[in-house]
């Protein structure tokens, strides 16, 4: 799976500009799907199976977009000011490299800071693309970029930008590959614009109209020095979300996930995340309401250019997702 993870995480597609990642994912799933379409907001909808007598229509959502920056102003000397797309952490900006969707690379600098012990505000940061005037600057207002950082294989642990949520995309692709027979009608939806408020999933969940929904996304951990008080850690299995800041997972979905993991002897962790949410929230609240939950990949340093996952958690997430989808669902 590592070459796939590398390929997906080294693709640049901030929210709203998912064409490159959609084409990369389409190339992976084309031969595995019964039907593929792209919806009007750009989400890639991949169907496998048809709804049999005991089957359910299940939506699996993994978001394709990533956090990024958008140019708001270019000054006379060619320096680019910007705003965030999604939750940007200013303390991770200085010295970072970015790449615009049009291919232009740049580095992030800051104004002279009065207090070097504090993180700069977003408006104290700028992108230097090597220009010397507004005229020769290849970036214009409204251009977007993602963070540039190569994939790093530490053996058991993998580091990359946009593990959030290309790792979820990789898990969904591999579960689709592993899913030979299913009584269910499964829609693997690679959604757009999650990082700006689960917008792609809001539209695609309405269109798919599922009986049950699951997001596959990253979650935080509490296993780093002086980390947050959170039970989830790397290497202890994928996490079954019970609650986050935007959703109470349906207890029947939680129960289905845990029962399936225990039966297949797949390690898992119970997750309560106090900040953030996922596409599962959009699925849960669509139409008249849908039982929904989330399979989470424990991830350190979320929303920085170096997000870390454990490879065994990723592989166990694929196993658990394939097991969940291959049998009738009694909810």
| Cβ distance to Co ion smaller for residue 195 or 250 | 195
Q: Is 238 left (phi over 0), alpha (psi -120 to 50) or beta?
A: beta
Query: Per CB under 5 A, does 217 bind Zn ion?
Result: yes
CB 293 within 8 A of CB 251: no
Write out the DSSP string of 220-264: --S-STT--S-S--TTS--EEEEE-SS-B--HHHHHHHHHHHHHT
Question: Catalytic one among 18, 185, 194, 271?
Answer: 194
C-alpha pair distances (Å), 154 with each of 2, 149, 151: 11, 15, 10
Question: Judged by CB under 5 A, how many residues of this single chain contact Zn ion?
Answer: 3
> Angle at CA 215, nearest 5°, toward 201 and 221?
125
In the complex, the smallest distance separating the C-beta of residue 165 from Zn ion, rounded to whole angstroms, is 4
What minimum distance in Å lies between the beta carbon of 274 and Co ion?
A: 15
Window contacting Zn ion (CB under 5 A); options: 20-28, 82-90, 152-160, 162-170 = 162-170
Residues 163-202 that bind Zn ion (CB under 5 A): 164-165
User: Which backbone phi and psi does 116 adopt, to 5 degrees?
Assistant: -75, -10
Residues 6+ apart with CB under 8 A from 158: 2, 5, 151, 152, 308, 309, 310, 311, 314
Per CB under 5 A, the list member of 28, 65, 143, 164 interacting with Co ion is 164
In three-state secondary structure terms, 169 is helix
Q: Which is nearer to Co ion, 15 or 182 (CB)?
A: 15
Contacted entry of Zn ion, Co ion, none for residue 279, CB cut-off 5 to 8 Å set by kind: none
Q: How many CA atoms lie within 13 A of 103 on its CB side?
A: 0
The 10 Å Cβ neighbour count of residue 138 is: 16
35 assigned to active site: no
Binding span for Co ion by CB under 5 A among 131-139, 157-165, 261-269, 310-318: 157-165
Minimum CB–partner distance for residue 252 and Zn ion (Å)? 24
| Contact stretch for Co ion (CB under 5 A) within 2-10, 105-113, 159-167, 285-293 | 159-167
**Partner in contact with 217, chosen from Co ion, Zn ion, none, beta carbon below 5 to 8 Å by kind:** Zn ion
Cα–Cα distance for residue pair 192/177, rounded to 1 Å: 22
- Give the residue with the Cβ less far from Zn ion, 15 or 286: 15
Nearer to Co ion, 44 or 67 (CB): 67
Instruction: Determine the interface stretch with Co ion among 51-59, 160-168, 267-275, 319-327 (rule: CB under 5 A).
Output: 160-168
User: Dihedrals φ, ψ of 268, to 5°?
Assistant: -150, 165
In angstroms, give the least distance from the CB of 303 to Zn ion: 9
> Nearest-CA neighbor of 14 among 149, 139, 145?
145
Question: Given the complex with Zn ion, which of 18 and 185 has the nearer CB atom?
Answer: 18
Active site residues: 194
Chain contacts with Co ion (rule: CB under 5 A)? 164
């Amino acid at each position: 799976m590592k070459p796939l993870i590398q390929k997906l995480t080294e693709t640049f597609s901030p929210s709203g500009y998912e064409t490159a990642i959609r084409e990369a994912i389409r190339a992976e799933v084309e031969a595995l799907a019964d039907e593929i379409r792209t919806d009007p907001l750009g989400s890639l909808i991949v169907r496998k199976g048809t709804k049999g007598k005991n089957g359910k229509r299940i939506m699996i959502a993994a978001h394709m977009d990533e956090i990024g920056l958008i140019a708001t102003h270019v000054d006379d000397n060619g320096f680019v000011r910007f705003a965030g797309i999604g939750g940007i952490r200013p303390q991770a900006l200085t010295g970072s490299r970015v790449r615009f969707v049009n291919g232009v690379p740049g580095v992030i600098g800051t104004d002279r800071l009065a207090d070097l012990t504090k993180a700069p505000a977003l408006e104290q940061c700028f992108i230097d693309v090597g220009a010397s005037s507004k005229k020769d600057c290849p970036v214009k207002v409204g251009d977007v970029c993602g963070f540039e950082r190569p994939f790093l294989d530490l053996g058991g642990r993998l580091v990359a930008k946009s593990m959030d949520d290309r790792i979820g995309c990789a898990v969904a692709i591999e579960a689709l590959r592993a899913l030979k027979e299913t009584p269910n009608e499964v829609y693997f939806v690679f959604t757009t614009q999650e990082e700006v408020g689960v917008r792609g999933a809001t539209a695609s969940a309405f269109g798919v109209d599922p009986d049950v929904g699951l997001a596959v996304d990253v979650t935080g951990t509490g296993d780093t020095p002086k980390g947050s008080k959170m039970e989830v850690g790397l290497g202890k299995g994928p996490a079954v979300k019970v609650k986050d800041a935007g959703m109470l997972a349906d207890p029947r979905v939680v129960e289905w996930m845990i029962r399936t993991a225990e039966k297949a002897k797949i390690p898992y962790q119970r997750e309560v995340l106090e900040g953030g949410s996922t596409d599962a929230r959009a699925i849960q609240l669509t139409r008249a309401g849908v039982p929904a939950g989330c399979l989470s990949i424990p991830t350190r340093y979320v929303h920085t250019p170096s997000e870390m996952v454990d490879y065994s958690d990723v592989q166990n997430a694929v196993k658990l997702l394939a097991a969940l989808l291959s049998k009738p669902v009694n909810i």
